[in-house]
Protein backbone atom coordinates (compact mmCIF):
# COMPACT_ATOMS: atom_id res chain seq x y z
CA UNK A 1 0.00 0.00 0.00
CA UNK A 2 1.38 3.47 -0.83
CA UNK A 3 2.55 5.64 2.07
CA UNK A 4 -0.22 8.23 2.76
CA UNK A 5 0.53 11.84 1.83
CA UNK A 6 4.19 11.19 1.06
CA UNK A 7 6.17 14.42 0.86
CA UNK A 8 9.91 14.85 0.26
CA UNK A 9 11.12 18.03 2.00
CA UNK A 10 14.43 19.69 2.85
CA UNK A 11 15.67 18.52 6.26
CA UNK A 12 15.64 21.21 8.93
CA UNK A 13 17.12 21.12 12.44
CA UNK A 14 13.57 20.69 13.77
CA UNK A 15 13.35 17.32 11.94
CA UNK A 16 16.48 15.87 13.53
CA UNK A 17 14.87 14.22 16.60
CA UNK A 18 12.35 12.45 14.33
CA UNK A 19 15.12 11.46 11.90
CA UNK A 20 17.10 9.93 14.79
CA UNK A 21 13.97 8.01 15.93
CA UNK A 22 13.51 6.67 12.37
CA UNK A 23 17.20 5.74 12.17
CA UNK A 24 16.87 3.83 15.45
CA UNK A 25 14.09 1.66 13.92
CA UNK A 26 16.26 1.01 10.85
CA UNK A 27 19.27 0.12 13.01
CA UNK A 28 17.19 -2.34 15.07
CA UNK A 29 15.69 -3.94 11.94
CA UNK A 30 18.68 -4.00 9.55
CA UNK A 31 21.80 -3.15 11.53
CA UNK A 32 22.17 0.09 9.54
CA UNK A 33 24.33 1.74 10.63
CA UNK A 34 26.16 -1.36 11.87
CA UNK A 35 27.20 0.35 15.13
CA UNK A 36 24.72 2.75 16.72
CA UNK A 37 26.56 6.11 16.76
CA UNK A 38 27.45 7.74 20.13
CA UNK A 39 26.06 10.95 18.68
CA UNK A 40 23.41 10.14 16.06
CA UNK A 41 22.80 13.81 15.26
CA UNK A 42 26.49 14.25 14.42
CA UNK A 43 26.34 11.05 12.30
CA UNK A 44 23.51 12.68 10.36
CA UNK A 45 25.54 15.85 9.86
CA UNK A 46 28.99 14.57 8.82
CA UNK A 47 31.87 16.67 7.52
CA UNK A 48 31.41 17.30 3.80
CA UNK A 49 27.59 17.25 4.01
CA UNK A 50 26.00 19.31 1.23
CA UNK A 51 22.26 18.98 1.86
CA UNK A 52 19.70 16.56 3.31
CA UNK A 53 16.03 15.65 2.75
CA UNK A 54 13.36 13.81 4.67
CA UNK A 55 10.41 11.74 3.49
CA UNK A 56 7.35 12.69 5.55
CA UNK A 57 4.04 10.88 5.88
CA UNK A 58 1.41 12.56 8.05
CA UNK A 59 4.20 14.60 9.65
CA UNK A 60 6.17 11.48 10.57
CA UNK A 61 9.69 10.96 9.21
CA UNK A 62 9.68 7.73 7.16
CA UNK A 63 12.88 8.24 5.19
CA UNK A 64 16.06 10.25 4.79
CA UNK A 65 18.85 10.93 2.30
CA UNK A 66 21.75 13.34 2.05
CA UNK A 67 24.38 14.52 -0.40
CA UNK A 68 28.04 14.74 0.58
CA UNK A 69 31.21 15.83 -1.21
CA UNK A 70 32.24 13.14 -3.70
CA UNK A 71 35.62 12.70 -2.02
CA UNK A 72 33.83 11.20 1.00
CA UNK A 73 32.65 8.19 -1.03
CA UNK A 74 34.73 5.00 -1.16
CA UNK A 75 36.38 4.39 -4.56
CA UNK A 76 36.11 8.13 -5.36
CA UNK A 77 39.07 7.98 -7.76
CA UNK A 78 37.62 5.04 -9.73
CA UNK A 79 34.21 6.72 -9.82
CA UNK A 80 35.70 10.00 -11.06
CA UNK A 81 37.60 8.18 -13.80
CA UNK A 82 34.48 6.29 -14.89
CA UNK A 83 32.49 9.54 -14.96
CA UNK A 84 35.27 11.41 -16.78
CA UNK A 85 35.30 14.22 -14.19
CA UNK A 86 37.56 15.20 -11.26
CA UNK A 87 36.54 13.99 -7.78
CA UNK A 88 35.24 17.53 -7.13
CA UNK A 89 32.76 16.88 -9.96
CA UNK A 90 31.08 14.13 -7.90
CA UNK A 91 28.42 14.30 -5.18
CA UNK A 92 27.81 11.29 -2.94
CA UNK A 93 24.39 9.96 -1.96
CA UNK A 94 24.61 9.04 1.71
CA UNK A 95 22.59 8.15 4.83
CA UNK A 96 19.72 6.75 2.72
CA UNK A 97 17.17 4.85 4.78
CA UNK A 98 13.44 4.18 4.95
CA UNK A 99 11.61 3.01 8.08
CA UNK A 100 10.62 -0.68 7.95
CA UNK A 101 6.86 0.07 7.94
CA UNK A 102 7.16 2.38 4.91
CA UNK A 103 9.22 0.04 2.69
CA UNK A 104 8.31 -1.50 -0.63
CA UNK A 105 6.27 1.48 -1.81
CA UNK A 106 8.93 3.53 -3.61
CA UNK A 107 9.89 5.94 -0.79
CA UNK A 108 13.63 5.39 -1.46
CA UNK A 109 13.14 5.90 -5.19
CA UNK A 110 11.26 9.17 -4.44
CA UNK A 111 14.13 10.36 -2.22
CA UNK A 112 16.68 9.54 -4.95
CA UNK A 113 14.57 11.32 -7.56
CA UNK A 114 14.56 14.45 -5.39
CA UNK A 115 18.35 14.32 -4.98
CA UNK A 116 18.76 14.00 -8.76
CA UNK A 117 16.79 17.21 -9.29
CA UNK A 118 18.37 19.35 -6.59
CA UNK A 119 20.30 22.53 -7.39
CA UNK A 120 22.61 21.61 -4.44
CA UNK A 121 24.09 19.04 -6.80
CA UNK A 122 25.45 21.86 -9.02
CA UNK A 123 25.77 19.61 -12.06
CA UNK A 124 27.89 17.05 -10.25
CA UNK A 125 27.57 13.37 -11.13
CA UNK A 126 25.94 11.34 -8.35
CA UNK A 127 27.83 8.40 -6.86
CA UNK A 128 27.52 6.16 -3.80
CA UNK A 129 29.06 3.27 -1.97
CA UNK A 130 27.10 0.42 -0.41
CA UNK A 131 27.78 -2.77 1.54
CA UNK A 132 27.78 -5.39 -1.21
CA UNK A 133 25.51 -7.98 0.40
CA UNK A 134 22.76 -8.31 -2.20
CA UNK A 135 20.39 -6.34 0.03
CA UNK A 136 17.41 -4.19 -0.94
CA UNK A 137 19.80 -1.25 -1.29
CA UNK A 138 21.94 -2.94 -3.97
CA UNK A 139 18.78 -4.12 -5.80
CA UNK A 140 17.32 -0.61 -5.61
CA UNK A 141 20.35 1.07 -7.24
CA UNK A 142 20.59 -1.56 -9.98
CA UNK A 143 16.84 -1.37 -10.68
CA UNK A 144 17.14 2.42 -11.04
CA UNK A 145 19.95 2.03 -13.60
CA UNK A 146 23.00 2.86 -11.50
CA UNK A 147 26.26 1.32 -12.83
CA UNK A 148 28.63 -0.68 -10.64
CA UNK A 149 32.14 0.76 -11.09
CA UNK A 150 34.22 -0.90 -8.37
CA UNK A 151 33.99 -3.36 -5.51
CA UNK A 152 36.31 -4.78 -2.89
CA UNK A 153 37.04 -4.87 0.82
CA UNK A 154 35.86 -1.87 2.82
CA UNK A 155 38.45 0.52 4.24
CA UNK A 156 36.56 0.27 7.59
CA UNK A 157 35.72 -2.61 9.91
CA UNK A 158 32.40 -3.73 11.41
CA UNK A 159 31.92 -3.75 15.21
CA UNK A 160 33.04 -7.41 15.10
CA UNK A 161 36.27 -6.50 13.30
CA UNK A 162 35.29 -7.80 9.85
CA UNK A 163 35.99 -5.86 6.64
CA UNK A 164 32.78 -6.24 4.60
CA UNK A 165 32.73 -6.11 0.82
CA UNK A 166 31.57 -2.79 -0.55
CA UNK A 167 30.66 -1.61 -4.04
CA UNK A 168 30.58 1.80 -5.71
CA UNK A 169 27.94 2.98 -8.15
CA UNK A 170 27.62 5.81 -10.67
CA UNK A 171 24.20 7.38 -11.31
CA UNK A 172 22.56 6.99 -14.71
CA UNK A 173 22.75 10.79 -15.27
SS3 for 141? helix
User: Between residues 10 and 139, which has the closer beta carbon with respect to ligand COA?
Assistant: 139
CB of 107 to ligand COA, least distance (A): 4
Q: How far is it, in rounded angstroms, from Cα 51 to Cα 28? A: 26
CB of 41 to ligand COA, least distance (A): 18
Piece of 11-19, 92-100, 113-121, 155-163 that binds ligand COA (CB under 6 A): 92-100
User: Between residues 105 and 118, which has the closer beta carbon with respect to ligand COA?
Assistant: 105
Residue 116 contacts ligand COA per CB under 6 A: no
Q: How many CA atoms lie within 13 A of 4 on its CB side?
A: 3
Sheet harboring 147-153: ordered strands across? 6-10, 49-57, 60-69, 90-98, 125-131, 165-170, 147-153
Residue 54 contacts ligand COA per CB under 6 A: no
Amino acid sequence: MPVPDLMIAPRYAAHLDRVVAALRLVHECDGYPMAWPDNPTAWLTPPGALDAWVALSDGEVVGHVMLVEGGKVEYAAELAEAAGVPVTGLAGVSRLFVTPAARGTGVAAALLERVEDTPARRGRRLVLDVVDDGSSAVRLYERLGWTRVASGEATWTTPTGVRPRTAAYLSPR
